[in-house]
């Protein structure tokens, strides 16, 4: 069964360092998302990506964050200068272009720890 | 604006008893509605969705959900709970007019006791 894959599963970084989280969405999907979850609590929307551009972003997704789909298969989230409060589980998700009725498929997440 | 609410942080039920996890939504149209489950240290897994048609939707692992338009609710149910159902459950809503936004509720922790 097709699945969304994320790397790394866990990354530890120092405050102020750049981090890139990688995702490989399901191959025929058209909509891509990043969410984060702090301490197993609420799943917070960060950004959605469609047709090679950001389609929506939340207030969390400030200038420190960026996304790219560099090669038609990978979908990356970059945090330019990490802060302590960026420590969270980051989930990538994708969905098919089925008129919005398609569910999101999630990866297993990348745990980011900022020291 | 779309939003979704899960009024209970935690639901406790004995194994074999029916369970209900509540979800209500506020809409500017008729949304698509979803339920997801998350086990510890795992990603979110899709359970079921309401798109249109029959208000009772059946999904994975014996779960079902009832769409109630007048009460703007989409409660998750199961006739007989299992200990293995213990997990975090999220309701989600997607705007029919804007597929780019997919909102999650705050989550409900389900504890099923033997």
Q: pLDDT tens across B49-77, in order?
A: 999 888 999 999 999 999 999 999 999 99
CB pairs under 8 A between A and B: 61
Shortest distance, CA A100 to any CA of chain B (angstroms): 5
Task: pLDDT tens for chain A, 115 residues: list them.
Answer: 779 999 999 999 999 999 999 999 999 898 999 999 998 788 999 999 998 999 999 999 999 999 999 887 899 999 999 999 999 999 999 998 766 778 899 999 999 999 9
Rounded distance between C-alpha atoms, residue B68 and residue A86, angstroms? 38
pLDDT at B100 over 80: no
Residues 50-89 of B with CB under 8 A from A: 51, 88
**What is the average per-residue pLDDT within B12-41?**
92
pLDDT at B2 over 60: no
Q: How many CB atoms lie under 10 A from the CB of residue A50?
A: 16
Compute CA distances B93 → A89, A91, B15, whole Å. Answer: 21, 17, 29
**What is the average per-residue pLDDT within B11-28?**
94
């Amino acid at each position: 069964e097709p699945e969304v894959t994320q790397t790394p599963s866990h990354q530890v970084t120092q405050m102020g360092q750049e981090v890139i989280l990688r995702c490989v969405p399901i191959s025929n999907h058209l909509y891509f998302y990043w969410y984060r979850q702090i301490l197993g609590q609420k799943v917070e929307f960060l950004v959605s990506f469609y047709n090679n551009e950001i389609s929506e972003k939340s207030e969390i997704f400030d200038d420190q964050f960026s996304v790219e789909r560099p090669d038609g298969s990978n979908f990356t989230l970059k945090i330019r200068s990490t802060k302590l409060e960026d420590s969270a589980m980051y989930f990538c998700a994708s969905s098919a272009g089925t008129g919005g009725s398609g569910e999101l498929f999630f990866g297993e997440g990348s745990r980011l720890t900022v020291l | 604006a779309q939003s979704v609410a899960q009024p209970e942080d935690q639901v406790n039920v004995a194994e074999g008893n029916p369970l209900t996890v509540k979800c209500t939504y506020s809409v500017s149209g008729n949304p698509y509605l979803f339920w997801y489950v998350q086990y510890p240290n795992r990603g979110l897994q899709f359970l079921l969705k309401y798109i249109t048609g029959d208000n009772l939707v059946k999904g994975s692992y014996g779960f079902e959900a009832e769409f109630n338009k007048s009460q703007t609710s989409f409660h998750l149910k199961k006739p007989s709970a299992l200990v293995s159902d213990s997990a975090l459950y999220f309701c989600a809503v997607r705007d029919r007019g804007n597929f780019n936004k997919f909102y999650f509720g705050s989550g409900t922790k389900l504890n099923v006791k033997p």
